[in-house]
Structures are given as C-alpha cells and as structure tokens.
Amino acid sequence: MKNRRSLQTSLIHSNSLDQATGAVSIPIHHATTFHQQDFDQYGDYDYSRSGNPTREALEKTIAELEGGDRGFAFSSGMAAISTCFLLLSRGDHVLVSEEVYGGTYRMITEVLSRFGIEYSFIDMNNLHEVASSIRENTKVIYMETPSNPLLKITDIEGVVKLAKANGCLTFLDNTFMTPLLQRPISLGVDVVLHSATKFLAGHSDVLAGLAVTKNKEVSERLSFLQNSFGAVLGVQDCWLLLRGLKTLHVRIKESSEAALKIARFLDSRDEVEDVYYPGLSHHAGYEIQVRQALGPGAVLSFRLRSENEVRQFVKNVHIPVFAVSLGAVESILSYPAKMSHASMPRAERERRGITDGLLRLSVGIENVDELITDLKHGLNFIKENVITT
C-alpha cells in the first residue's frame, strides 16, 4: 500500500510519526550513547555516529523518496559527495561531467588526485565521448544534470547503459531536480547525491548532504564509510531537514511554475541575449528532459551583454537576494563569473559559456507577477540607459 502513495503524500506521512509516542513530529534524540539492556545482545543503537533515531528517520525518508534501499545523511553536500568518492581506491579512474559543481571539481582535482585516483572531465552530453573515454580502470561515471549554470541535460539512461556495459558504477548529483522531478535510481543509477542545503531543506538555513544507494554491496560499503569517515549530519539539522521536506512538493510546484513564466518573459526581451532553462522548447536538452524528468525545475540562467549591464541590472532589481546558493523560498540571483566560478581562469570560464554577462536565478515562492515586474524594472533601466559596454 505504502509504495503506491504519491510522493506528495509520502512527504507528509512517511517516517514523520514517532512510533513510541504518536508524536507527529520526529523527536530530536540528542543522546550520543544508548544503554544496552542485554549484556550479550546489543540494541539497535549504540553510538550516534553509527546510528541515531532522528537521523535514521531522515535517511529512511530520502531512501523512500528516491526509490533506493538505503539513505545516508551527511554534514554537507560536499561531505556526502566526498564520502562516496571513498568507494574508489588508488589506481581507479573516474569520468566526470565537465560542468560539475565547483566543490566537486576541487575535491577530485586537488584531493583525490593525491590518493592516486585518476580522473577525466568530459562532455557528458556527448555519448560518443563518454564511450570513448571509458578506460579499463574506470570505476565510476559521475553525472550532474541539469548542469550549473547553463542547465545542460545529460541523457541519464544513455550513460547508465554505457556504464553497465563496462562494469562501472554511476553517481548522479540530483540537487537541482530533487526526487520529485527526477528519480535517477529508476533510470539505473547506483548512487544519488544531494546538497540538501538547497531545495530539500529549502529555507537557506541548513547545511546538509544526502546519498541514496540501490545496489546492496554499495549500500553496505557506504554505510561502513559513513561511520568510518564520520561526517554525519547533526540531529538538530536532521530535524530541520525533515521539516523542510514536508513542504517540498508545494515549494517545487510553485517555484517551477514561476520559473517557466520568468524564462518566457526573459526570452521575450531584447536586452536578454539568451535564456537557459530546460522548460523552453528551444533549449538543447528539452526533449531529453521531458523524457527523463517530470519538470524543468526552478533554476534558470540568462545572458546580458556585458558586466556593466549586469551591474546596473543587479542594482535595479530588489526582490531576489544577490547571493550564492539556490533552491530556497526566497529567489536568489547569482553572478557565476564572480561567485561560483570566480576561481576558474577567464578563458576556461568563457569556453564553458560563463561570460561576464551571465546571471543565474533560482526562483523562490514570492508572487511571480511581482518578480517579473521587478526584473522588468532592471531590464528597462538597461534599455533606457543603453549601457552596452
């Protein structure tokens, strides 16, 4: 019965009832150690790094939402991603999407490399390139789709097929989509990763990471690594995340609908050179996105002509916060060239389409007409002042 429930209903009712008392909110178990009733046989919990009832409620919830066997909660998205990379050993090779999140790029190039793990960054949207980049020692293919900040779409099933034919595991960072819009495990992915800091928690007030596994052997190895490395999520944050998840459906629905309206509005304006949003039919990955996901999500990017125009636009737009991060109730406007991709050399950044005119908008749940009026105000300022350079 339980499995046939929609995710919308599961978000409210799965694992949110305390079995011991009937409390409708999971208690926060601060205890780090648990009394053992039986001298010979220990109970379900002994020490909170290894297992804690509050964290377990969250881990069961994300496993159920993603359709996996096991869920794991970590102290940040990077802690989740880094711990999963510990599944690799010296001499292994990993294939990574070249548009991967900056922190993941840093972990691979500056940390894993010191432990003898080899890597190649490739265009994951080109299946021929994926196929020809797989080596004998390739153990993991790492995807992130839609990509950041240009929202490029990877054909998940296409990559999974190549991975399975070559005995590689697949990891997928599902932060931008959440399990409500994209369920990678149903497409054959082995490990799903989240920066739960973003949409899952949703309120810009919790730093957290989640991983979900399907494969039994991988589940057991990751459970061992979570306990060994120890970057688990604290119980207060587990509770905040469980609470945030209850409204995920309404937040995603509202902000995705608004994002589509905003993308169309931006597309209609002469001051905007390009709009990148997988919900627009002219987007390069539109058809794959329609096939593999339930919606385009709430993040879009758009290009103005110059840094100067961006500067004037940002000064004249008042509702979104101007900041890094995404996936919150408040709209967040970011400037990749000076924020997420600031450390990348200009030539490399521009080769990836991250020019000085590019802005990213994570649409929140404010009134969409007011958001559009606000953006219009910023664009009108550019139009009236004709400030191209």
Contact 328, 196 (CB under 8 A): no
Binding flag, residue 204, ligand PLP (CB under 6 A): no
Task: Check binding of 197 to ligand PLP (CB under 6 A).
Answer: yes
Closest separation in Å from C-beta 332 to ligand PLP: 11
Verify cis geometry, omega within 30 degrees of 0, for the bond prior to 184.
Answer: no
Measured CA to CA in angstroms, residue 252 lies from 65, 243, 245, 290, 363 at distances of 14, 15, 11, 17, 10
Nearer to ligand PLP, 176 or 265 (CB): 176
- Among residues 27 and 103, whose Cβ is nearest to ligand PLP? 103
Cis peptide, bond prior to residue 146, ω within 30 of zero: yes
Does residue number 10 form part of the binding site for ligand PLP (CB under 6 A)? no
Taking CB under 6 A as the criterion, the residue among 27, 67, 103, 188 binding ligand PLP is: 103
Q: How far apart are CA 217 and CA 61, in angstroms?
A: 21
Told to check if 101 binds ligand PLP by CB under 6 A, we report: yes
Q: Taking contact as CB under 6 A, which single stretch among the options 38-46, 73-81, 214-222, 298-306 is the one that binds ligand PLP?
A: 73-81
d(CA 231, CA 75): 6
Burial of 53 from C-beta contacts in 10 A (0-12 / 13-18 / 19+) = buried
Which of 329, 311, 312 shows the shortest CA–CA distance to 320? 329
Cα torsion 160, 161, 165, 166: sign = negative
Minimum CB separation of residue 286 from ligand PLP in Å reads 20
In the complex with ligand PLP, which residue's Cβ is closer, 134 or 207? 207
CB of 78 to ligand PLP, least distance (A): 4
Could you say whether residue 77 binds ligand PLP (CB under 6 A)?
A: yes
Considering only CA atoms, which of 89, 140, 139 is closest in space to residue 112? 89
Task: Decide if residue 207 touches ligand PLP (CB under 6 A).
Answer: yes
**Separation in Å, CA 339 to CA 70, 98, 356:** 34, 18, 11
Q: How far is the CB of 277 from ligand PLP (least distance, A)?
A: 16
Residue showing the smallest CB distance to ligand PLP in the complex: 77
Residue (209 or 278) nearer to ligand PLP, CB: 209
The smaller minimum CB distance to ligand PLP, of residues 195 and 255, is found at 195
Q: Please give the backbone phi and psi of residue 76, each rounded to the nearest 5 degrees, phi first.
A: -165, 170
Measured between alpha carbons, how far is 279 from 257 in angstroms, rounded to an integer?
Answer: 10
Binding map of ligand PLP across residues 130-149, x = CB under 6 A, - = no contact: --------------x---x-
Catalytic amino acids?
49, 101, 173, 198
Three-state secondary structure readout of 70-138: EEEEECCHHHHHHHHHCCCCCCCEEEEECCCCHHHHHHHHHHHHHHCCEEEEECCCCHHHHHHHCCCCE
Least distance (Å) from ligand PLP to the CB of residue 16? 23
Name the one range near ligand PLP by CB under 6 A: 58-66, 72-80, 155-163, 368-376.
Answer: 72-80
State the minimum distance, in angstroms, from the CB of residue 98 to ligand PLP: 14
Choice between 87 and 211, CB closer to ligand PLP: 211
Toward ligand PLP, which CB reaches closer, 156 or 382? 156
Q: Least separation, in Å, of the C-beta of 3 and ligand PLP?
A: 28
190: contact with ligand PLP by CB under 6 A: no
116: region left, alpha or beta (phi > 0 left; psi from -120 to 50 alpha): left
Per DSSP bridges, beta strands 299-303 and 274-276 are antiparallel
Contacting residue, 10, 16, 61, 76, with ligand PLP by CB under 6 A = 76
Token pair 């046989």 in the structure block, residue:
41
Interface stretch with ligand PLP, choices 47-55, 70-78, 315-323, 378-386 (CB under 6 A)? 70-78
Is 67 buried (19+), middle (13-18) or exposed (0-12) by CB count in 10 A?
A: middle
118 binds ligand PLP (CB under 6 A): no
Q: What is the binding site for ligand PLP (CB under 6 A)?
A: 76-78, 101, 103, 144, 148, 173, 175, 195, 197-198, 207, 209
